[in-house]
Amino acid sequence: MEVGTLYETHIEKRIIGAFQKSTSLPTIVIIGGIHGNEKAGIIALKNVVQLIEKEKINIKYNFYALSGNIKALKNNVRFNTVDLNRLWTEEIISKITHNNEEFVEDIEEQADIYKTIKNILKINKGRFYFIDLHTTSAKTEPFITISDSLNNRKFASNFSIPIILGIEEFLDGPLLTYINEFGHMALGFEAGQHFDNQSIKNCEAFIWLSLINIGCVNKKVVTDYKYYKELLSKISIKKPFYEIDYRYQINKNEHFQMKKGFLNFDAVAKNDVLAICDGEEVKSPINGYVFMPLYQQQGDDGFFIITKISQLWLKLSIIVRKLKLHHLLRLLPGIQKDKNNDYILIVNPKTATFMAVEIFHLFGYRKQVVKDNKYHFIKRDRKVTPFK
Ligand SMILES: [Zn+2]
């Protein structure tokens, strides 16, 4: 099915497919189209579900395929009033659960997705895996985004595609970060450009390989297993980890135009002109790689700059986290533990200089919010707790 001519007929339903085996077994939830102009994930989920049903493929665990922003998908826009992937904060969720919000369209959708996931997690007690399928406005090879927890890293490393850590430090309220905070593996897969048919194939490949890696499906029963495996191994950039160092924020009513021709992962040097915003040149503040340059109208992330993470850093961070050395951070001046939350360190801005931020990252903490002039660093590795 072509992305351009799709799919009036099959986006009315939140649940595209549900295969419930046993409440004690692992559960996999895969969602597509949380951005309504990103249809590849939805089409791929639909294709996978159809094939499972047609070929009576044995699904050994619980597997749910969900659709994201149904109204935005129908209108073929990223969102109607607010970005559905920037709303997953405690504050907004509490409004949903207390039903005291005048719901705008996108929040209605959020409330329904929230209830659906909550119900799935209420019934099923086994290990939980969450995958969120996206596409980008710029041309790109597939890549994975995760919050930097060890369980996320481990799962993402099953694939030989680039892995980008730390997006939660730059975006408010993505769904996968919210789910991650309950200790579950949660990962975003970016399949390619919005209207490229290859993005559908990449999503299908990622869905099948994920189900196989988790043990939900036996690879022998997936006829195209080899093809899918090859498809996601053809990536020219081999299995590196990257970290986001910079995000260009487009403010309200600003006219932002990315310079033509940037591909995702293109190398850029400090002071290279990347875009024009309200007539002014926008330059890269550092050497690195341009990431998710914005070539569409909606959205306020102009571009990101990412840099490669060394193998040494990756290994060292595993060691310090396994040894639980993060307790030492609390002994430093200007750092206190949040009394109400074991995973939060409250840090004096003077302490949170660039070098210090790198140390927090090593120990698995990411800067997330500024409250009362203090930084809150939030630990990404955590125990599984009930979904709220
Ligand atoms: Zn998206």
Distance 344 CA to ligand 1 centre (A): 28
**266 phi, psi to nearest 5 deg:** -65, 135
Residue 6: C-alpha distances to residues 35, 77, 313 (Å): 15, 14, 44
Angle at alpha carbon of residue 187, lines to 185 and 192, rounded to 5°: 165
pLDDT at 2: 42
Distance (angstroms) between ligand 1 centre and the Cα of 329 equals 35
The CA distances from residue 303 to 240, 258, 371, in Å, are: 20, 8, 26
* Reported confidence tier of residue 102, pLDDT bands at 50, 70, 90: low
Confidence of residue 100 (pLDDT cuts 50, 70, 90): low
Calpha distance 274→139 (Å, rounded)? 16
The single residue listed with the structure tokens 């939030």 is 378
* pLDDT confidence bin for 382, thresholds 50/70/90: confident
CA of 326 to the centre of ligand 1 (A): 33
Q: Report residue 367 as tokens.
A: 């800067």
At 103 the pLDDT is 63
Predicted TM-score (pTM) above 0.85: yes
Residue 3's pLDDT is 42
Cα(36) to ligand 1 centroid in Å equals 8
Q: How far apart are CA 147 and CA 304, in angstroms?
A: 16
CA of residue 133 to ligand 1 center, whole Å: 8
DSSP strand E in the chain: where?
A: 15-19, 27-32, 62-67, 128-136, 143-146, 163-165, 185-193, 241-249, 256-258, 267-268, 273-277, 280-283, 288-291, 301-308, 335-337, 344-347, 365-371, 374-379
C-alpha distance across the termini of the chain, in Å: 37
- How far is the centre of ligand 1, averaged over its atoms, from the C-alpha of 38 (Å)? 6
Q: What is the pLDDT of residue 1?
A: 40
Neighbour tally for 286: CB within 10 Å: 13
Domain 8-231 is found in CATH 2.60.40.10: no
Asked if residue 37 has pLDDT above 60, the reply is: yes
What distance in angstroms lies between residue 138's CA and the mean position of ligand 1's atoms?
12
Q: Which CATH code fits 243-308?
A: 2.40.50.100
Q: Where in the chain is the domain with CATH 2.40.50.100?
A: 243-308
User: Is residue 324 over pLDDT 90?
Assistant: no
Between the CA of 34 and the centroid of ligand 1 the distance, in Å, is 7
Distance of alpha carbon 72 from alpha carbon 37, whole angstroms: 7
Query: Average of pLDDT values for 86-103?
Result: 79
The pLDDT tens digits of the residues spanning 142-164 come to 999 999 999 999 999 999 899 99
Q: What is the Å distance from ligand 1's center to 107 Cα?
A: 17
What confidence score (pLDDT) does residue 354 get?
Answer: 61
CA atoms within 13 Å, Cβ hemisphere of 203: 36
Phi and psi based region of residue 359 (left: phi greater than 0; alpha: psi -120 to 50; beta: remaining): alpha
**What are 12-33's pLDDT values in tens digits?**
789 999 999 999 999 999 999 9
Query: What value does the mean pLDDT take over residues 71-100?
Result: 87
Q: How far is the CA of 122 from the centre of ligand 1 (A)?
A: 27
**Could you tell me the maximum CA-CA distance found in the chain, to the nearest angstrom?**
62
Q: Return the C-alpha torsion angle 379, 383, 386, 388, nearest 10.
A: 10
- CATH 3.40.630.10 in the chain is located at 8-231
Given a cut of 80, is residue 214 above it in pLDDT?
yes
Digit-coded pLDDT (tens) for 178-200: 999 999 999 999 999 998 999 99
Q: How many angstroms is it from 330 CA to the middle of ligand 1?
A: 36
Q: Is the separation of the CB atoms in 273 and 283 below 8 Å?
A: yes
Q: How far is the CA of 340 from the centre of ligand 1 (A)?
A: 33
Q: How far apart are the CA of 210 and the centre of ligand 1, in A? A: 19
- Ligand 1 mean position, distance from CA 193 (Å): 10
**258 band by pLDDT with thresholds 50, 70 and 90:** very high
Residue 355 has pLDDT above 90, yes or no: no
Average pLDDT over residues 123-142: 94
Asked if the model's pLDDT at residue 367 lies above 80, the reply is no
* Number of C-beta neighbours around residue 146 at 10 A: 25
Residue in this structure with the two tokens 């080899």, named with its chain if needed:
226
Give pLDDT, residue 4: 42
What is the average pLDDT score of the chain? 89
Task: List, in sequence order, every residue forming a beta bridge with 133; answer none if it has no partner.
Answer: 32, 189
Determine the distance separating the centroid of ligand 1 and the alpha carbon of 203, expressed in angstroms: 13
Cα 194 to middle of ligand 1, angstroms: 9
Q: How far is the CA of 94 from the centre of ligand 1 (A)?
A: 24
* Cα separation, 273 vs 294, whole angstroms: 14
pLDDT per residue as tens digits for the range 270-302:
999 999 999 999 999 999 999 999 998 888 899
> Any residues with CB less than 8 A from the CB of 240 and at least 6 apart, and which?
162, 163, 308, 309
Query: 86 alpha carbon to ligand 1 midpoint, in Å?
Result: 11
Mean pLDDT check: name the lowest of 93-102, 201-210, 297-306: 93-102
CA-closest candidate to residue 169, choices 301, 348, 266, 265? 301
Query: What distance in angstroms lies between residue 311's CA and the mean position of ligand 1's atoms?
Result: 29
Give the side-chain half-sphere CA count within 13 A for 79.
18
